[in-house]
Amino acid sequence: MTTAHPADELKKYHAKYWNDLITHKFVLEMAADSLPIEKFAFYLRQDHVFLKEFCAFLLIARQKSTDQKLKIWFDRLYHSTVDSEMQMQKELLISLGGISNIDNNSNTTMASATLNYISFLRQVSLSAENLEGIVSAMAPCPWSYLEIAQKLCKGEIKNDVYFKWIQFYSSNESQQQVKELKSILSGLYDKAEDITKRTMEQYFGAACKYEYDFWEAAYNMK
């Protein structure tokens, strides 16, 4: 009998939140090639702002880590986000409308869901005394994106912009990142005391809810 992966158990604990964000109408309409492109452009702008904060979050996590292997992992994830993920977003936005100044946040009005998610990460990075809470709060973002992209891979996406987005988040590199993330999250959860496990569950669930709200804001463009 195979022992359940602790990270997967953590996800099951918040199955409703997880399933809601994985099957959000934004995602379903992408799969059906019926999502209006302006909604996707709105999402890209908001996510670019969010990822800047996510990168700051990763740097704080690196500073708090006393494990050299974890420091290296946070470093790799940071550079991957800046050099690959955010660059991909820029290229997609440019292809949609010749946007060249996406890095200037003053050009993007931040949606309340984006601000709430960012505020949550800032709170966790400041209040979490150890890495358990930090890793739990960041895990749903890359993990859910992989599952969404893998789900969308099963259909025939005709929109070239959507196709490139899906390719990026379902790539071997994304799969490896999430595999490593789940391994780290499982190791931390296994060793944690009960009170820390409750905190990890709380942060993981909150992040799932913020992810759902993010998709909802993108769909409604507000």
Residue 106 has pLDDT above 90, yes or no: no
For the segment 140-173, what is each residue's pLDDT rounded down to a tens digit?
A: 999 999 999 999 998 788 899 999 999 999 999 9
| pTM to 2 decimal places | 0.92
Residue 34 has pLDDT above 80, yes or no: yes
Residue 1 has pLDDT above 50, yes or no: no
For the segment 165-195, what is each residue's pLDDT rounded down to a tens digit?
A: 999 999 999 999 999 999 999 999 999 999 9
Residue 208 has pLDDT above 90, yes or no: yes
Residue 2 has pLDDT above 80, yes or no: no
Predicted local confidence at residue 127, as pLDDT: 83
Q: Is 130 exposed, middle or buried (0-12, 13-18, 19+ CB in 10 A)?
A: middle
Instruction: Give the Cα separation of 195 and 187 in Å (integer).
Output: 16
Number of other residues whose CB lies within 10 A of the CB of residue 124 = 21
Measured CA angle at 58 (ends 152, 138), to 5 deg:
45
Q: Which amino acid is at 97?
A: G
CB contact burial 54-76 (16+ within 10 A = b; e otherwise): bbebbebbbebbeeeebeebbee
Local confidence band at 136 (pLDDT 50, 70, 90 cut-offs): very high
Q: Which amino acid is at 21?
A: L
Contact 85, 78 (CB under 8 A): no
Local confidence band at 4 (pLDDT 50, 70, 90 cut-offs): low
Residue 196 has pLDDT above 50, yes or no: yes
Q: What is the DSSP secondary-structure string of 47-65?
A: HHHHHHHHHHHHHHHHHH-
**Mean pLDDT value of segment 65-91:** 95
